[in-house]
Every structure is written in C-alpha cells, then in structure tokens.
Amino acid sequence: MKLQGRTAIVTGAGRGIGREVALLLAEEGAHVWAVDPGVGRGGEETEDRPADEVVAEIRDRGGKAEACYDTVSDFDKMGELVNGIVRDHGKIDIVVNTAGVLRERMIWNMTEDEFDMVINVHLKGHWNLCHHAVRHMRKANYGRIVNFASDAFKGSVGQCNYAAAKGGIISLTRSIAKETQRNDITCNVICPAADTRMTLTEAVKANRQRKYEAGLMTKEQYERTMIFRGPEHIAPMVAYLTTPESWAISGQNFHIEMGKIHTYYYGEEQRGLVHGADGMFTLDELMSAVPNSLMNGLEPIVPKTDPALAGSEDAKAKSA
C-alpha cells in the first residue's frame, strides 16, 4: 500500500469524485477524514449523512476513516479539524479539496448571496483548509495537497460565480506551490470531467440534445456525451499526486476524464506589440495595430456577433 500510515482529509467525500478519492486513499492505507455536511447540489440543508456512508464502506473494507459534517466555508471549524488530527495522530499529510456547490444564473439575475455562497464554499473553502494544514505541513517538512477546479475557469455561461471561484483556485494552487517549495509540500489542481449529480442534470442532458438538433454538435460529439464517465476515473491520478513519489510535481493543472489526462500551460506570450521609441502607444496607433497585428488570426474567446443582433440575443437569455 502506497499511503500506509498517512493521514488524509478529503472534502466533499460523501458523493461523486470525493467519495471515489476517499475510498482509494483508504485502500492504499491512508487514514481518511471524510468531510461532507450532506447538503444538496445548491447548498440547501438536507438530513443526509453521506460522510457516514463512505466511512462505513471504508471500514467494511478494513480501512480507517472518520466522518466530519462541518462546511469547508467555516474557517474555525476547518482549523479545529486539522488541529484535532495533528493532536491525536501527530501530523496531517494529505489534503484533497473536492467540496462544492452550484448556484447557476446569468450575471444580471444572480444575487449577491448566490455569488457569495459559491465563492465561500469553493475558493474560500479551499483556502481555509489549506491555510490550517500548511501550517503543520511546514513543521513536518512534508505535505501533499490536491485542489479541484474546473474547465469552467475558461469562462462559463450562467456560472460566473463558479468560473471565478475555479479560476481563483488555480491561482491559489500555484501560489501555495511556490510558497511551500522548500518544505517538500506539493500543491496541484485538477479540472475533472465526470458525470455526477453536480454535472449530469436533466437540464444538461436537454441542452446537449438541443445543441445536437441545432447542428452545434456533431453526432459523434453528441454520442460521446452520452457515454457515462464515472467519477472513479478521476481518483487514480489524485491518489498518485498524494504519494511521496510525486515530489517533483507541484503547481500543475491537470484535466482528467475517462481515458484521458492532459496538462494546461499558463504564462506563455502568444503575440505582442513593441513600441521602439518612447514606449508610449498612441490611440491612433492602437486603432490599427490591435486588430491588424495583435489580434489578427487569434481564435476569439467569444464568437463575433453583429451588434445589430445583440439585442435579440440578449432577449433570449433574459429568462435564464
């Protein structure tokens, strides 16, 4: 077993990807704390205790696990969790942050509470646990952190709160990796693609069908979306990143889905403008240089739309 004797916290461990990660880490010998308050997809209160279920499954398999029902957005509770593990077991080796909620709405209809909830659970929740855990990891000169973002960091319609949080998590991860590089602490981030209760809703299925019927998706692309991509495909790479052998990998962003893993690269310059005189561009110079040189040939982030049609497109989205 590759994680024998290690202590691990997995948030969002009651269902989906978090559950699969918790099961695999325990199978590899880690003592796992499964953190999950049992809330609904949008953060609403329920009477569910999925953390108990995954803990029972781990113990039935001969592993070690404990349940925690606190929300990751509570700074003090996450501190109590980490400090308690260190007090009773001497160390905290592994943190995997998968917990999350969704509150989807277009920006003009999104409320402040909907924005804050998603930011607090995703971005602040990651920071809370990492903050408390890293303090102890630095003293031990060892730690493995795996955070969870999403391809939504590229921009996601109806999910500006979620996309902003995930982009922030990627930057947070890279910052932690740089700050802890001398302490054998690694911090990496995963952008998963898996079908769970969070991602594969009836609305998502209906939207895929509409795209296919409208010619926005080929038959091959549509049929691929209908193949169930279980969360179990995400867990092995996460487990690898928690092993001592992954010491040289830190600050990296991995996309993972069934049968495919790839990395993202940041910071490269695609194309530039250089002013060889006093360094000051004039507006007239930019009016020509930006469209004809800087942006010429680059794939647009947003498809070009005739301004005359913008009003009608906006009207279609008002109800979202």
Which positions are catalytic?
Answer: 162
Q: How far apart are CA 176 and CA 247, in angstroms?
A: 14
In contact, 40 and 51? CB cutoff 8 Å = no
Reference 136, options 171, 97, 89; nearest CA is 89
* Long-range interactions of 174-181: CB distance < 8 A, separation 24+: 174/251, 174/266, 176/130, 176/134, 176/145, 177/250, 177/251, 178/251, 180/134, 180/137, 180/138, 180/143, 180/250, 181/250
Sign of the alpha-carbon torsion through 291, 295, 296, 299: negative
Give the pair of three-digit tokens for residue 167. 């982009």
Give the pair of three-digit tokens for residue 166. 């995930």
Give the pair of three-digit tokens for residue 258. 């069934």
Q: How far apart are CA 186 and CA 247, in angstroms?
A: 7
